[in-house]
Structure formats: structure tokens, C-alpha cells
Amino acid sequence: MMVRKYIKSLVMVVFVLCVSVQESSAQRWFKASSLEFGLIGGASHYSGDLTDNKFFEARGLKGSVGVITRYTPREMVTFRLSAQYGKLEGDDAWYEDPNDINNRGLNFTSDLWDFTGAAEFNFNSIDTRQKSGVIPFAFIGASVFKYNPKAVFEYDPTTDLALYLGQSYNDLESRDGEEIELQPLGTEGQQTTEFNERERYSLTQVAIPVGAGFKFKLSHKWTVGVEYGARITFTDYIDDVSDSYVDPTRLQSQYGAMSAAMSVRERNFDPVFFENSPRGDSDKNDLYGILGLSITYRIYGNKAVCPSF
């Protein structure tokens, strides 16, 4: 009998503690972990040599879509994984005078695959009894991304380059309007005899994602989020532009006439002073960013529990 009374008393004490914790501030609560899964869509953009080094260029915004999962072991920290597909674009024509014959004339587009793992630091907590609320957050982590810069070949036999290369350029006429992958062409002399120190860049790179946003709790299960994250990269070749020009005849002998044609897209040039003249700014790496709108469904968790002793 004494044991039963003792157990009943202990249960009552635990119950009272639970009620007391429930009535206290949310910061005194221990919460079960939660797992969410959902979709994320929005827009991606690039910043680099072909956006005049502007951080944000609205004309370069391209749609993006992906999946996202969040795991929250405690209310102030959330771990996330996401996979997103988007596009990147830059174009000198956005900034150059179309009547200037000295225009560089470079442009590119690229598919983008972004795989990110990050920690979100929540600046607010919501009591589990609330069905709605707003949580501002910031995040940082690591990304792996795949890209492949391309550009459309525009055949023009009246340019100085066409006259300089002669028949080898004329042989490209049938490829007018074709979208060309730029990395295999070594457009800045990568791994040529004269510029062997310039290594061919990899199409898979790592980046550091840094961003912030808001999560809007719509119910116990559904959450909508809006965020922006910049990816700080370690490459200056997202756009295939970084260093200096190489004499087109060197590119032609090593990689063919198409390499020279996609490297030099301005209408006129002087081959005497052309080699080693600036093609890009190698002191600044490219970056890209993703503006995202997510909707996630909580699979389990985030229920208040009594503290353990």
C-alpha cells in the first residue's frame, strides 16, 4: 500500500511539473525533434565578369525548383538539406553600346545543380501550442554545385577574326546558331603549350552558402518559408571568363577554329597587341545566389514533452 501511495504521489508530482512547465515561458520547454519535407522554388542568378561585376542583375534572374528537408533537434537550430535546379546567365550586351565595334561581346548560359547542407539559426521560437507564427533565421553551410557554361556560335565572315583565321573559320558556317559548350574549348589557352600553367577548370565545384529568411508557421503541420542565399564560390569560371586573351591561332592549332571563335567574339582586334590583353578580372571569383520560396510538411515531432530528470 505504501509503495502504491508513493508511486501515485510521484506521478502527481511529475504531472504538476509538466503543467508548471507548460504555463512557463517557451524557453523553459524541451521539445521533441521534428522532421519536415517539402518543395522549394524561386529564382537563381549569377554575378561576375558578364554582369559588370554587379552583385545582382535582374535580367539574369532564372527560375529554379527543388526539394528541401529540415530537421530541428531543438527550437533554436535547424539542419537542412536541399537539391535545386536552376539556370545562370550573363551578357556583355546588357551594358555595352551596340554600335561600339570594340565591344567584348561575350555571353553565356548554364544549367545549375545546387546541393546544399546548412545550419539554420532561428532568432525566434514558437510555442508548440501555437498554430501560427513567424521565425526569422540565418543560415550557413556547404554546397556542391554543377554547371556547364555555353554560348551560341554566331557565324560572321566579316569580322577581323574570320579574316585572320581564313578558311578554317569559313568551315564553321554550317554550325551557325549552335549552342557550344565552352569548357572543352580552352578559350583562355588552358593546357596549351604556351599557357600550360592555366589548368582546365572543373565543372563541379564547392561553395559556401550564406543567407537569411523567414519561416511562417501556417498550422501544426505546414510551414512556408522565404529566403535568399548567396553562394560564395572558389572559381572565376562560371562564365568561362577570367584571365587574358590568347592568340586565336594558338587556340585553333590546339582545339580547332571553334575554340578561337568562341574566345574572341568582338568584331575587330589587332593580333599584334591582342595576346595577354585582359579578357576578364581574375582577382574576383564569380558567385551565384538563389531566392527561394519553400513549403514544407512536418512528418513528425515538435511536440512538447516533460523534462527528464
- With 60 as the cut, is the pLDDT of residue 95 above it? yes
- With 90 as the cut, is the pLDDT of residue 27 above it? no
Q: How far is residue 211's CA from residue 195's CA, in Å, rounded to a whole number?
A: 38
Give 240's pLDDT tier (boundaries 50, 70, 90): very high
> Which pLDDT score, from 0 to 100, does residue 267 have?
84
Cα-Cα-Cα-Cα dihedral sign, residues 187, 192, 198, 199: positive
Compute CA distances 36 → 16, 32, 126, 178, 232, whole Å.
Answer: 32, 13, 16, 43, 27
Number of other residues whose CB lies within 10 A of the CB of residue 285: 17
- With 90 as the cut, is the pLDDT of residue 223 above it? yes
Give the mean pLDDT of 249-274.
Answer: 90
**Which domains does the chain show, CATH number per domain?**
34-305 (2.40.160.20)
Give the mean pLDDT of 22-34.
Answer: 46
The three-class DSSP label of residue 12 is helix
- With 90 as the cut, is the pLDDT of residue 306 above it? no
Give Dmax (Cα) for the chain: 107
Mean pLDDT of the chain: 86
> Which pLDDT score, from 0 to 100, does residue 33 have?
73
Predicted TM-score (pTM) of the model is 0.84
Exposed / middle / buried, residue 299 (Cβ in 10 Å: 0-12, 13-18, 19+): exposed
Cα of first residue to Cα of last residue in the chain, in angstroms, is: 25
